[in-house]
Amino acid sequence: MSVATTTPTSRPAARSQVRRRVGRTAIFVAMTIMAIIMLYPFAVMVLISFKTNAQYLIGQGSSTQTWQQINSSLPVWQELWNSTVVCTLSIAIILVIGVMAGFSFAKLQFRGGNVVFLGIVSAMMVPLQAILIPEFVNIAKTGLTNNYLGAVVVYAALGAPFSIFLFTTYFRRIPDELIEAGIVDGLGYWGVLWRLALPMALPAIATVTVLQFIQIWDDLLVGLLFLQNPNERTITVGLAALAAGHTTSIPLLMAGSLVSAAPAMIVYLIFQRFLVRGLTMGIDR
């Protein structure tokens, strides 16, 4: 439904151009309204966090008191650190495993490869809640529940199927000739992966990193169960815990929300284009 611009050559054409302009203005207005709706959460968070609880209840005034006191109610720095560590470790595992498997599925045909690929990709369909209970028990048995490792391993397993799918689609685009040139030049397939394919895969790596970062940083359920120790809590879980205690002040919750949301938003803004590319890479096979 894109609108091509043409130069009017007669009265009826001029009329349709006016109609078109009106249409575009209407669209602009609609989009502005939409933007206001979408920005609403951020506006709310900012406005309310700059009030004290008392001011909030009245609906008037602003202050930075909540922000100054945030650290006493919410171990912000500790939790931010926990979130960072968990994200970094999980993403590192996902990337290494994903690149290896993705390259193999894309370029190294072996017996049964297609079946394994389907199996791993279909794991995307498994909702966390279905495996949650046994998962928790298994991890608890190995003593990793109050340790970053338990959550990291679960996040890695949950994020791997989609990432492998992305990497496979991406590596498929590498021309076979390029790999053959490497073979003739003297590389083994292992060398082809790390010296030829990997440098070409930087966009895919960026995409996976952004997508998984947002996914893991913003996750509640896994963190809730696998990082129960307040020392290891992620910021998102910390926020939810804060909310669950019903005596908390709303401005505090909003401030906590902003803290929790900020890193993910920054990552998003920096890596915007990779996000779009990544989500749709699976579509044009």
Partner 1 sequence: MSLTTSLAATSAPRRAPRTSLLTKRRRRVGVVLVLPALALVGLLIAYPIGQAVYYSFTSWDGLTTQWIGPSTWTQAFHNPTMWTALKNNAELLLAVPFALGIPLLVAVMLHQRVAGWKIFRSIYFLPTAISWVVIGLVAEHFFAYSGTLNSLLSDVGLSSVHTNMLGQENEALIALGITFVFSMIGTNTMLFLTGLATLDQSLEEAARIDGAGAWRIFRHITLPHLSRFIQLAFVMTVISAFSALFSLIFVMTGGGPGYSTTTMEFLVYQTGFNQSQFGTAALYGIILFVITALVGIVQLRLIGAKDS
Partner 2 sequence: MAEIVFDQVAKVYPGGNTAVQNLSLHVADGEFMVLVGPSGCGKTTALRMIAGLEEVSDGTISIGGRVVNNVLPKDRDIAMVFQNYALYPQMTVAQNMGFALKIRNVPKDEIARRVGEAAKILRLTEYLDRRPKALSGGQRQRVAMGRAIVREPQAFLMDEPLSNLDAQLRVEMRTEISRIQRLLGVATIYVTHDQTEAMTMGDRVAVMRGGILQQVATPDDLYDHPANAFVAGFIGSPPMNLLNAVVDERDGGLHVRFGDQSVVVPERYRQSHRLDAYVGRPLLLGVRPEDLVAATGDAPGRFTATVTLREALGSEILAHLNFGGEEVIVTDDTTTAPAAHSSRVVARLGARAKVEVGERVELTLNPENLHFFDAESGVTLRGGA
How near is the Cβ of 184 to partner 2 at its closest, in Å?
5
Which regions of 198-278 does DSSP assign to beta strands (E)?
none
180 vs 97: CA distance, rounded Å: 24
Nearer to partner 1, 142 or 231 (CB): 142
How near is the Cβ of 174 to partner 2 at its closest, in Å?
10
> 9 — phi, psi (to 5°)?
-115, -5
Which three-class secondary structure state does DSSP give residue 162? Answer: helix
Q: How far is CA 265 from the centre of its chain?
A: 10
The site partner of 132 among partner 1, partner 2, none (C-beta below 5 to 8 Å per kind) is partner 1
Name the residue with tokens 């054409």: 13
Name the residue with tokens 């529940």: 145
For the chain, the C-alpha Rg in angstroms (whole number) is 25
Taking CB under 8 A as the criterion, which residues in 183-222 touch partner 2?
183-187, 191, 196, 199-200
Q: Which two tokens stand for residue 19?
A: 């109609």
Amino acid at the residue 122: S
247 vs 259: CA distance, rounded Å: 20
For residue 192, count CB atoms less than 10 angstroms from its CB and return exposed for 0-12, middle for 13-18, buried for 19 or more.
buried
> Is 111 an interacting residue with respect to partner 2 (CB under 8 A)?
no
The site partner of 58 among partner 1, partner 2, none (C-beta below 5 to 8 Å per kind) is none
Distance (Å) of CA 6 to CA 9, 17, 20, 29, 242: 9, 8, 11, 23, 58
How near is the Cβ of 11 to partner 1 at its closest, in Å?
19
How near is the Cβ of 209 to partner 2 at its closest, in Å?
19
Nearer to partner 1, 164 or 205 (CB): 164
Q: Which two tokens stand for residue 86?
A: 């968990």
How near is the Cβ of 198 to partner 1 at its closest, in Å?
12
Taking CB under 8 A as the criterion, which residues in 148-187 touch partner 2?
175, 177-178, 180-187
> Is 130 an interacting residue with respect to partner 2 (CB under 8 A)?
no
Nearer to partner 2, 201 or 211 (CB): 201
The site partner of 275 among partner 1, partner 2, none (C-beta below 5 to 8 Å per kind) is partner 1
Nearer to partner 1, 14 or 265 (CB): 265
Nearer to partner 2, 115 or 184 (CB): 184
Which residues are near partner 2 by CB under 8 A?
A: 175, 177-178, 180-187, 191, 196, 199-200
